[in-house]
Chain A
């Protein structure tokens, strides 16, 4: 059973979102990190770049494969977690905490309604 914090929102492609006013922090779920296992490299978006919801924003590489991470929301990247460059294994250790990937300034808060709550996400991964 993976952890699915009740306070977050989730995308079908296994990203989580934490909203703080007009800032959204994005990472990958515990379920996703367990599926990937052994993360060895993370490519982050460029600060200042504008991301569109549903497009590739980052890449997380495990021993197995390189996996695209999609931005769940549209907006400008205001901060990236550069700690992951030297410590990509944080994605496995603390996916909801230290291993957040990037923060975007929300361009369209209505997009939040398209994301799942914890119960829906839990059902979507058959847990």
Chain B
């Protein structure tokens, strides 16, 4: 167990590699109750969110979700989140645990008329059910009446007469669901789900496997790979930055200028063909020049070598570039590669 903010969370149950492999080959369930849940509602909610968050809210049909960023005026990342549209004027936001307070302040600061905000985090526990068998298990667990969401969509399910939000999203690179429900039923829900997935190889998974899975999938971690130090554009998140939409959100103009001029640093992926795995804060070199710092790194259970993400000087951030990583006073060869490290078979 480890402390993550005020949450006591399991790093591992049976072992990080064991849990990691279960998610890649069958399924795993993660307790993500620490995540924050907000509701933004009202006739002006869409317009407000479109001026506050980066992605284009107008593209979001009822029942759909989208990955989006909350930036400061310089494009620095305050938080990355998923925005779901539950109904015409009813939006559900899932934010990082460590950012709940900051996000709430940011969103409520300039709340216009016709928009209401609720921090519903205390009302929700949550589990992520991830892996190639996740949907099979969910069908068994929720029964035939369950309206199965499509990729990135969200539906209402009923379990023992309790409302459960079932979103087809995740943070592992596998197909799967994120499930939101009342904390009062969490214990029964978790054990019921484990039971439903028993014959499909479902395993409980901790924070350790969550980190190696998301890193292989090239998904950034807020606080490590995303921060105020680099813009969301430098982080490679342009597809979620709504440059084509009309509304201006904080950081949009700065990041569009960065795009025109070219960012000085880029979040790039690299692998260590042989040698010690990369860890956050290791330095990368091109010859004698320090060209970047590692923000995430770990041994990849799927690839069998060290993998990492680092902000690299743009001229050495192209895939195929050979660099060196400093580890305990020596240099180890590394290679810049394309993201993601792992992509599931279609």
Using a CB–CB distance below 8 Å, which chain A residues touch chain B? Answer: 37-38, 40-41, 43, 59, 61-66
Contacts and interface: CB of A to CB of B under 8 A. Distances in A.
Interface of B: 11-12, 15-17, 20, 208, 212, 275-277, 279, 298-299, 301, 328
The 4 closest A-B pairs by CB, nearest first: A40-B299, A63-B16, A38-B17, A37-B15
Contacts of A59: 276, 328
Given A61-B299, A64-B11, A37 B16 contact: yes
A59 B276 CA distance: 10
15 contacts: A37-B12, A38-B15, A38-B16, A40-B299, A43-B276, A43-B328, A59-B276, A63-B17, A63-B20, A63-B212, A63-B298, A63-B299, A63-B301, A64-B11, A64-B12
A66 B15 contact: no
A67 B276 CA distance: 12
A64 B277 CA distance: 10
B11 to A, nearest CB: 7
Contacts of B20: 63
Max chain B C-beta neighbours (<10 A), residue from A59, A61, A63:
A63
B146 to A, nearest CB: 35
A65 B20 CA distance: 16
A103 B19 CA distance: 35
A93 to B, nearest CB: 13
Contacts of A61: 276-277, 299
Nearest to B14: A37
Contacts of B276: 41, 43, 59, 61, 66
Contacts of A62: 16
A63 B208 contact: yes
A65 B279 CA distance: 8
A63 B301 CA distance: 8
Given A59-B328, A61-B299, A41 B16 contact: no
A52 B16 CA distance: 34
Contacts of B15: 37-38
A61 B327 CA distance: 12
A108 B275 CA distance: 34
Contacts of A66: 276-277, 279
A94 to B, nearest CB: 17
A101 to B, nearest CB: 16
A112 to B, nearest CB: 29
Given A37-B16, A62-B16, 9 more contacts: A38-B16, A41-B299, A61-B299, A63-B17, A63-B212, A63-B299, A64-B11, A66-B276, A66-B279
B100 to A, nearest CB: 26
Contact of A41 (B11, B212, B277, B301): B277
A37 B206 CA distance: 13
Contacts of A37: 12, 15-17
Nearest to A40: B299
A64 B208 contact: yes
Contacts of B301: 63
Contacts of B328: 43, 59
A31 to B, nearest CB: 15
Given A40-B299, A41-B299, A59-B328, A64 B279 contact: no
Max chain B C-beta neighbours (<10 A), residue from A38, A43, A62, A65:
A38
A76 B17 CA distance: 36
B213 to A, nearest CB: 11
B310 to A, nearest CB: 17
A33 to B, nearest CB: 11
B277 A40 contact: yes
B36 to A, nearest CB: 26
Nearest to B299: A40
Nearest to B2: A64
A117 to B, nearest CB: 29
B326 to A, nearest CB: 13
Nearest to B300: A63
A41 B277 CA distance: 8
A13 B1 CA distance: 19
A65 B298 CA distance: 8
B51 to A, nearest CB: 41
A126 B185 CA distance: 34
